[in-house]
Structure formats: C-alpha cells, structure tokens
C-alpha cells in the first residue's frame, strides 16, 4: 500500500489515484521472468527513491553527455522503458493483492474529497479573508519601514546644510558628532545607490571639519578662550585624535611666535621706511631687525614683548585648562578612565611640559635677534634703562614660565650692556671732570630730611630692597614680587605696559624752599655755575637733567643762604656735583640691578666715580708739601696708598706719546680747581666755606656709599666681593681722613704763629724771682684764637660747620700753637728754675683762657708742652732715657734742652753724652 501511495505521489499512477482493473490485469498477464524482473528493478538508481520532490526529468537531462549519440540515446531510452514496465507490473501485482484494502482506500478517498471540498469552502469564506488582512498589515509595516528609511535618507542628504551651520557657529563637537552619526546611518543604508555616494561625501566633510578644527586650534595660541578651547578639545576627543592635537598645537605655537614677531617688526620697519616697498616682507626676520630705527627701537621692543606675552599666557592657560580638566575627571564618581585614556593624559602632560622649554627657547631666539640687530651704545641712559627693564621683565616671565635662567637673553643683553656701559662711563667721567673744574663749591640747599631714597634714580631699591638694607620694609616690598605675573595679569593687562608708566613718575622734592627766591626755582635740583660759559649748553642740560630737559637755574647767593630757616641748618652739606655723582651712582645701580652679569663692571665704575671725586677734593684743597715737616701725621699711610693707587690707575698725568691708546682711554685727565675759587684770602679764612662744602660733601658721599654697601654686596658676584670689601675699607673709609690735611692749611694760616715766636724771643727766662704775671705773647696768642673763633662764626653763617670739622680746626690750631710754644721754649738760650716756672704759668694761663673758647676736650698736645717744660728738671740718667723714649720732639728741641740745662744740674761730660744719644737716635717723623 505504501509503495502504491509513493507511486501515486510521484505521478506514476493516474491523477485520480485509481487503476482500472482491466489495466492491472493486462499488466499481470504480460509474460515475464520473475528473476529478470527483479534484476531490472534492482538496476533502478537509488536516487529515484530518495524524496518526494525529486525531479526525474531534470535528473536525466543533466546526465546527458555533451556529445549526443542517437543509438546510445535510444538504447538508454529502451532501458528506462523496461525499468518503468517492470515497476508498473510490480505495482499492479501489489494492488491486485491488496484490492480489499484498496477499496477501503477508495472510500476514504471519497471522504477526503468531501472534506477537501468543505475545507475549500471554509478557505474561501474565512481563511483567505483573514490571511488577506494579515498580508495587508504586513505590507503596511513594510511600507512604514520604507518610509522611515526614505526619511532618514532625506535627512542624510540634507546633513551638509546643518554641518555648515554648525561650523559657522564653531560647534565642532556637534558637527563631528553629527557627521559620525550620519556615517553610521549611511552604512546601514549602503544598499541604496544614493547612500553610497553620500557616504563618500560625508568622509570628505569630516576631513574638511578636521581642517577647520586645526585652524580653530591655532587661534588659541594668541587669545586663549576657555569655551572655545573646550569645544576644540572635545572635538578632537570625538575624533580620537587628542595626541595628534597636542602635536599640532605645539607646531601652531611655534608658528604663532614667528608670525607675531615678524609682523610686529615688519610694521615698524615699513612705518619708518615711509614707502610701500614690499621688499621688507621677503626679508628674513634677522635681517629685518637691522632696519629698526633708534626712535622706534623701544616701542617696537615693548610691542614685541607684549605680543610674545600673549602667546606665552595662552600656553600657560592651556596647561592650566588641562590640569583642571584632568582633576575634574579624577574626582568625578564613576569616571575611571581606561588604560588608553590614562596613557593619553600622560602623553599630553609630558608634551605640554616639554613644550614650555621649546616655546621659551623660540621666544629668546627672536628677542635676541632683535636686541643684537641695533647698536644701542649711543642710546640715552633712560632709553637704555627702559630696554634693560623690558628684558629684565621678560626674563622674569621666562623664570615663571618654565624656570629658565634665560641664558640667551642674558648673553645678548650683556654684550649690548658692556658696549653701552663702556661708552657711557667714559662720557660720564669726562663730564664729572668738567663739572668738578667748574664747581665753585657752594652749598646746594636741600631739605634737612634729605635722603637719596627720595631721588627717582634710587626708587628701584624700594621695589627690590634687600633685608639687610631695610628689614622694616621687607614685607611690603616682597608682596608684589611673590605674586606670579601670570596670576597678576590673568584677567587682563600686560606686564610690559608698566614701562611707559614708570617714566612719568619722576617728580621729586628734595630742595629747601627757603634756598630759592621763588617757588618756580624749586623744580630743579641743579644750579648753574658762574664759570661754565665754555661748556656746551646742550651738554650741560643733558647732564643736569636728562629726564625733563629743563635747563639749570641760577646759583644761590650767600645772602640768600644766610636767611635759611633754623630747621634746615642741619641739612646735609653737598654740592651740585655731589648730587650729580649720587644720581649717577643710582643710574649705575639700576643698570647693575637689572643686569647682574655685568655687576662687577658697574661696581668697578661706581668706585671710579668715588675715586675721582676724592682725588679731586684732595688735589684742590689738600695737596701741600708742608705736611711731612709739620710732624702732625696729617696723612695716614692708608690714605697715602689710596691716593697713589687712584693717581696710578685712573689719572692721566699727561704721560705723553709713550702711553698706549688703550691705557689713555681708561684714564681721565687730572682735574684743576676753578679760578673762581679763591683759597688765599684771609677774609674768607682761606676759602674755609669752600673747603667745608668740598670735604663734607665727600664725607656725605662716603656715607651714602656706606648705606648702599649691603645692596652692592648682594649684587656683586661672590668671586669679586673682595674687591668691594677692599674698596670700602681702603677708600670709602678714608674720606673723613681728608679733613686733617685740608683743614690744616686753614689752621696753619689762620693764626700768626710767627708773631708769637718773635714775641717769645724777647722774653727773659733766666729770672731769679717767681713771677705772678704771665707774658704778653700769651695774650696776643689768645687774641688770635678769639679772632679765629669770630671768623669761624662768620663762615658758619654761610655754611654750617659740623662739629667734627670744628673739632679738627681747633685741634689743628691748638696743636700748632702748642708746637709753636715748644719751639719758642726751645729757642731759649738761658733759663732758670724761675724761668721754667714762668713758662708753666704762661701755659696754664693759655689753657685756662683757651678752654673758654672751645669745647674740645682734652686740649690736644697739652702734655707735649708740659712734658717739655718739666724735662728741664730731670737728672742726667732720666734725661737720657727721656731722649730715647720721646721721639716726638725734634733734634733741635732736645739739643737746646740739653744746652740750657748745662751748668745748672749737668756738666759738660754729661752734655756730650746726651748730645751723642740725640745724634744716634733714628727719628722717623710722625
């Protein structure tokens, strides 16, 4: 039955599934051999029994060979027919054998047909309608999806417009996000032809966005904006190119530095050139810097540093942004980054740190080329100081920017400074000589509270005062220094704008108003000289007041000075030249403070200013050949050594042609006192007023140098500090020692000592009675002292005589008087004990009256006179010992003492012995 059903299904039976009985019988009645029939059935291929869907026709056609042979095809066809006949006969036998069952199958078939008709009716009435609804619904869903896809495609095709809008709005992260999303969507619909083209266009757009993003990144190098930079970094993060962005950023900063400096310098060069010639635009930057004019040098340098500051500030803010950004990421809960993210942060951090040095190196190279492009040796002092200020501030920026010591800037500015300073110092020394030779040594009236700190040249010390100078001001002065420049100017402004402001702060008020006849004259510290008609007017003005250009005013008359207020009586004693030297020292120190590498050169030149001033004062007022013969030890060995050193190293003594040009160049001609200064008139106490002003101004100058020593010491290199210490110990400290030789000349001439000697010659000393009345020469000498005291008072009305000066003058006069007394006593031929008593009476009278005239205590050389008088009473042995121990007395004085004593208490033999002792003694003069 199963075999029959298979044949039915395969189409081997009639389509109605029923074989007529006659047909079956015909098949069975055909004579066959069962064995042959079985062999034929067995020869059928297995594939014919494999499945219901097997296509026999297709199978047989595929088996046909490429070259067909009719005989072979007919044989193969007959074989297939025999197989079909065998199968059909076998089926017929099986059906007839199972006929009863087949009848049942037939009835079942009829039932199936009836059921099929009923099912078809149900299908037509219900199933086809429902399935139609389902099909429509499915079609609707497909169309809805298609519509959605079409809308997406339409949106993708309109993306370009929105991307352009985002780029105009600088919304780079949004544009990149949109572009990436579009690319993702496009890959979904890539089976559409229009979308495949769009995908290629989106890739081009993304590359265009990257180019614009690179331009946006470059803009942050000059003017950093937090929101702008945040967008740019987020955009690069979306692209996965954060590290690439860092590489590009450093290239942009380097390019920004080059473009910035080139445009600044080019602008000034073209402006000064005054024509439209474009040859400058094609010049290398280094060559372009050589075309900067002197007038535009400082403005261009300032603008150059301002522009470079903006670039460095942008880099500083960039680093600050990354630090804060990473800190936020680390502190955000659940924001643990991947290893790749950590590596990226580390790369960015190292790249930024390494970039600091690279960028600062670029800045130094550009500024160095600018500095060395112009010869600044002929600049005015204030202009050069501005240059130094700007470079000093730039080096401070470099220190805070990356901890650099700015070796390139230091080297270039040092080279310029050395050239400038040599020329400047040489000119200043020549001007100092000129002013000293035209100085009339009149008092420059300053206020009683005058201090060099009031001069604008020393205002820099208030900004960078060392603790050793003024500890009380230290907290105030360090406060602005501790504030980082990048923090100070973070919100705006520029550290290089201060240069313009500083030049305007030059008003000062150090003059005593009562020293001038009108308030207008208070505006200048300087006074003109009566004998400077031979000095070029422009040189006078430039030296007198380089800041304002104001000319000097007329000198103050002595009558006007007499009317000074008592409050200004204790004002410092100084001259215009002293004030000029102090100002010059301030200018030198400004240069030294700003440029420490040439500190030693500057301090050496500062010492030369003091040396020359000291040598001039000594040459004008203190040089005298009588010092050695006075026996008063007026010039110490230290002062003598100092004066010799100055003369040898600094003073050009007109050595002639055999002196080398370099040696002559380093020296200054010896100064000569102005002819208007008269030092030989007794009416003026031999120029005492001028001597006081000159000497005390030198002492005042030395005091200012002492005040400045701690500051100079902090600036001086360690290896050169011994020079500074020696300068102070051997030179500055000797200023007050000049009082002795200078005022000795006044003391030697102010009192007529010769008259007293003549009067003493007429006195009889070999008297026999004790006298109660002193001799007339004592009264004459005291009158000389009274007259000296009165004239001293007259001079003090013109110029204040400080107590040390008064003491030196009185000491000199008294010592000279006492030595004159001893000299007078040494001229005595005969003398008795009563005569010696009279000498003591005369001297005591002199001392008693003298103590009323002066407050000087003790009276100088009092023992010198008393001891000489008392030696008369010594025995032979004591007198011999006295001669050996007291070398302050001259050989003449000792010899006369021995001769006078002869006959009274020593004999001729003793006299010869004592005279021999006097001859044998080597007496170096005191």
Look up residue 114 and give its two tokens: 């009836």
Mean pLDDT, residues 866-874: 88
Q: What is the pLDDT of residue 490?
A: 76
The answer to whether 273 touches 234, Cβ cutoff 8 Å, is: no
At 648, which helix (H) or strand (E)?
helix 637-649
Query: How many CA atoms within 13 Å lie on the side-chain side of 559?
Result: 1
33 is a domain residue = yes
Where residue 86 falls among pLDDT bands split at 50, 70, 90?
confident
Q: What is the pLDDT of residue 838?
A: 92
Look up residue 18 and give its two tokens: 């029923």
Mean pLDDT, residues 728-733: 93
DSSP 569: T
pLDDT at 501 over 80: no
Same domain, 684 and 648: yes
Same domain, 817 and 906: no
707 is a domain residue = yes
Same domain, 880 and 834: no
pLDDT at 202 over 80: no
Q: What is the pLDDT of residue 21?
A: 56
pLDDT at 430 over 50: yes
* pTM for the whole structure: 0.63
Task: Report which of 123, 189, 121 is spatially closest to residue 157, judged by C-alpha positions.
Answer: 189
Same domain, 778 and 711: no
- End of a domain among 99, 122, 151? 99
Same domain, 83 and 207: no
Q: What is the pLDDT of residue 347?
A: 85
Rounded CA gap, 270 and 262, in Å? Answer: 12
3-state class of 211 per DSSP? helix
Same domain, 649 and 728: yes
More confident residue, 233 or 157: 233
At 670, which helix (H) or strand (E)?
none
More confident residue, 524 or 769: 769
Q: Which of 112-126, 408-422, 669-683 has the lowest mean pLDDT?
A: 112-126
Residues ≥6 apart with Cβ < 8 Å to 260: 222, 307, 308, 310, 311
More confident residue, 331 or 804: 804
411 is a domain residue = no
pLDDT at 436 over 90: yes
Q: What is the pLDDT of residue 540?
A: 40
pLDDT at 791 over 60: yes
Q: What is the pLDDT of residue 784?
A: 92
What tens digit of pLDDT does each residue of 13-34 get? 444 444 555 665 666 666 678 8
Where residue 196 falls among pLDDT bands split at 50, 70, 90?
low
Q: What is the pLDDT of residue 193?
A: 60
Q: Which of 27-36, 72-81, 282-291, 638-647 has the lowest mean pLDDT?
A: 27-36
Domain carrying residue 686 = 439-455+571-654+662-736
More confident residue, 338 or 187: 187
Rounded CA gap, 292 and 363, in Å? Answer: 19
Rounded to the nearest 5 degrees, what angle is found at the Cα of 207, between the Cα atoms of 204 and 208? 85
3-state class of 130 per DSSP? helix
Rounded CA gap, 399 and 181, in Å? Answer: 47
487 is a domain residue = no
Q: What is the pLDDT of residue 25?
A: 62
Domain tally, the chain? 5
595 is a domain residue = yes
622 is a domain residue = yes
Same domain, 239 and 372: yes
Q: What is the pLDDT of residue 567?
A: 44
Q: Which of 523-537, 624-638, 650-664 has the lowest mean pLDDT?
A: 523-537
Mean pLDDT, residues 434-449: 90
| Percent residues over pLDDT 90 in the chain | 25
pLDDT at 530 over 60: no
Mean pLDDT, residues 453-472: 62
pLDDT at 342 over 90: no
Q: Which of 44-53, 131-140, 535-544, 834-843 has the lowest mean pLDDT?
A: 535-544
Same domain, 597 and 581: yes
Where residue 153 falls among pLDDT bands split at 50, 70, 90?
low
Q: What is the pLDDT of residue 283?
A: 87
Q: What is the pLDDT of residue 276?
A: 59
- End of a domain among 99, 134, 169? 99
Find the radius of gyration of the CA atoms of the chain. Answer: 60
Instruction: Provide the CA 329 distance to its chain's centre, in angstroms.
Output: 35
pLDDT at 432 over 90: yes
User: Across 213-227, 474-488, 700-714, 875-889, which has the greatest mean pLDDT?
Assistant: 700-714
pLDDT at 689 over 70: yes
715 is a domain residue = yes
pLDDT at 847 over 90: yes
Q: What is the pLDDT of residue 577?
A: 94
Distances (CA, A) of 133 to 124, 140, 450: 14, 10, 114
Rounded to the nearest 5 degrees, what angle is found at the Cα of 49, between the Cα atoms of 44 and 54? 110
Same domain, 778 and 818: yes
More confident residue, 111 or 208: 111
Q: How many CB atoms lie within 10 A of CB 774?
A: 18
Same domain, 708 and 616: yes
Q: Strands, DSSP E only, in 606-717?
A: 651-652, 668-669
Q: Which of 527-536, 730-739, 800-809, 894-903 has the lowest mean pLDDT?
A: 527-536
Q: Which of 91-105, 351-365, 517-531 has the lowest mean pLDDT?
A: 517-531
More confident residue, 133 or 859: 859
Same domain, 778 and 682: no
3-state class of 857 per DSSP? coil
Q: Which of 291-305, 365-379, 800-814, 894-908 has the lowest mean pLDDT?
A: 894-908
530 is a domain residue = no
DSSP 374: S
Mean per-residue pLDDT over the chain, rounded: 79
What tens digit of pLDDT does each residue of 657-679 get? 455 555 556 789 999 999 998 98
Same domain, 808 and 897: no
Q: What is the pLDDT of residue 584?
A: 93
pLDDT at 532 over 70: no
pLDDT at 449 over 80: yes
Q: Which of 202-216, 525-539, 571-585, 688-702 has the lowest mean pLDDT?
A: 525-539
Q: What is the pLDDT of residue 191?
A: 60
- End of a domain among 684, 707, 736? 736
Q: What is the pLDDT of residue 509?
A: 67
């Amino acid at each position: 039955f199963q075999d029959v059903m298979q044949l039915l299904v395969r189409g081997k039976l009639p389509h109605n599934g029923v074989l007529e009985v006659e047909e079956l019988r015909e098949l069975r009645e055909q004579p066959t051999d069962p064995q042959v029939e079985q062999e034929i059935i067995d020869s059928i291929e297995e594939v014919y029994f494999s499945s219901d869907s097997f296509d026999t026709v297709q199978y047989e056609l595929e088996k046909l060979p490429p070259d067909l042979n009719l005989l072979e095809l007919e044989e193969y066809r007959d074989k297939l027919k025999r197989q079909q006949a065998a199968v059909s006969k076998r089926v017929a036998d099986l059906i007839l054998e199972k006929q009863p069952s087949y009848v049942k199958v037939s009835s079942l078939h009829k039932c199936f047909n009836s059921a099929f008709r009923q099912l078809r009716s149900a299908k037509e009435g219900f199933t086809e309608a429902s399935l139609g609804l389902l099909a429509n619904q499915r079609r609707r869903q497909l169309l809805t999806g298609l519509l959605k896809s079409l809308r997406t495609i339409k949106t993708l095709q309109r993306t370009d417009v929105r991307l352009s809008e985002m780029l105009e709005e600088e919304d780079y992260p949004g544009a990149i996000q949109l572009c990436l999303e579009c690319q993702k969507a496009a890959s979904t619909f890539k089976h559409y032809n229009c979308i495949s083209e769009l995908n290629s266009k989106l890739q081009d757009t993304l590359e265009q966005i990257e180019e614009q993003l690179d331009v946006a990144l470059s803009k942050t190098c000059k003017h950093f904006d937090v929101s702008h930079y945040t967008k740019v970094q987020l955009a690069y993060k979306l692209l996965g190119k954060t590290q690439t962005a860092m590489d590009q950023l450093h290239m942009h900063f380097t390019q920004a530095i080059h473009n910035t400096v080139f445009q600044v310098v080019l602008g000034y060069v073209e402006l000064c050139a005054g024509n439209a010639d474009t040859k400058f635009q094609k010049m290398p930057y280094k060559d372009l810097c050589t075309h900067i004019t002197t007038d535009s040098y400082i403005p261009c340098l300032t603008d150059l540093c301002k522009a470079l500051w903006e670039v460095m500030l942008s880099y500083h803010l960039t680093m600050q942004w990354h630090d804060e950004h990473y800190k936020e990421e680390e502190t955000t809960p659940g924001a643990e980054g991947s290893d790749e993210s950590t590596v990226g942060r580390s790369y960015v951090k190292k790249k930024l740190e390494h970039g600091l040095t690279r960028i600062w190196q670029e800045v130094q190279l550009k500024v160095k080329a600018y500095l060395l492009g112009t010869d600044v040796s002929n600049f005015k002092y204030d202009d050069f100081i501005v240059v130094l200020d700007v470079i000093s501030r730039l080096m401070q920026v470099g220190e805070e920017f990356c901890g650099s010591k700015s070796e390139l800037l230091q080297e270039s500015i040092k080279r310029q400074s050395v050239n400038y300073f040599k020329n400047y110092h040489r000119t200043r020394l020549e001007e100092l000589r000129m002013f000293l030779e035209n100085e009339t040594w009149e008092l420059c009236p300053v206020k009683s509270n005058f201090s060099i700190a009031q001069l604008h040249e020393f205002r820099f010390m208030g900004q960078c005062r060392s603790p050793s100078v003024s500890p009380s001001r230290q907290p105030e002065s360090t406060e602005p220094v501790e504030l980082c420049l990048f923090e100070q100017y973070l919100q705006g402004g520029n550290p290089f704008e201060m240069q313009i402001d500083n030049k305007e702060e030059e008003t000062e008020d150090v003059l005593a108003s009562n020293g001038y006849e009108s308030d207008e004259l208070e505006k200048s510290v300087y006074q003109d000289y009566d004998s400077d008609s031979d000095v070029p007017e422009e040189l006078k003005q430039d030296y007198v007041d380089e800041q304002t250009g104001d000319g000097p005013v007329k000198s103050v008359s002595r009558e006007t000075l007499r009317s000074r207020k008592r409050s200004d009586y204790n004002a410092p004693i100084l001259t215009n030249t002293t004030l000029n030297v102090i100002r010059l020292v301030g200018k030198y120190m400004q240069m030294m403070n700003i440029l420490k590498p040439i500190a030693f050169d500057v301090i050496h030149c500062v010492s030369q200013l003091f040396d020359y001033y000291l040598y001039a004062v000594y040459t004008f007022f203190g040089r005298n050949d009588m010092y050695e013969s006075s026996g008063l030890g007026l010039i110490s060995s230290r002062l003598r050594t100092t004066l010799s050193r100055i003369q040898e190293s600094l003073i050009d003594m007109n050595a002639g042609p055999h002196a080398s040009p370099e040696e002559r160049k380093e020296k200054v001609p010896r100064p000569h006192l102005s002819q208007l200064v008269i030092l030989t008139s007794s009416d003026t106490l031999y120029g005492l007023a001028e001597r006081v002003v000159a000497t005390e101004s030198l002492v005042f100058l030395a005091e200012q140098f002492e005040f400045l020593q701690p500051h100079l010491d902090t600036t001086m290199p360690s290896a050169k500090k011994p020079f500074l210490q020696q300068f102070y110990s051997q030179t500055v400290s000797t200023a007050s020692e000049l009082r002795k030789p200078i005022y000795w000349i006044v003391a030697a001439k102010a009192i007529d000592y010769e008259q007293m000697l003549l009067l003493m010659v007429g006195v009889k000393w070999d008297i026999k009675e004790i006298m109660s009345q002193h001799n007339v020469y004592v009264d004459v000498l005291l009158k000389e002292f009274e007259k000296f005291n009165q004239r001293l008072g007259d001079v003090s009305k013109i110029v204040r005589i400080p107590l040390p000066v008064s003491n030196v003058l009185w000491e000199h006069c008294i010592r000279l008087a006492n030595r004159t007394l001893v000299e007078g006593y040494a001229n005595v031929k005969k003398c008795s004990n009563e005569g010696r008593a009279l000498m003591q009476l005369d001297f005591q009278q002199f001392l008693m009256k003298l103590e009323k005239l002066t407050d000087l205590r003790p009276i100088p050389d009092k023992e010198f006179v008393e001891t000489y008088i008392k030696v008369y009473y010594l025995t032979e042995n004591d007198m011999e010992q006295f001669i050996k121990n007291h070398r302050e007395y001259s050989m003449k004085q000792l010899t006369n003492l021995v001769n006078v004593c002869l006959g009274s208490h020593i004999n001729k033999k003793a006299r010869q012995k004592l005279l021999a002792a006097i001859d044998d003694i080597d007496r170096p003069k005191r």
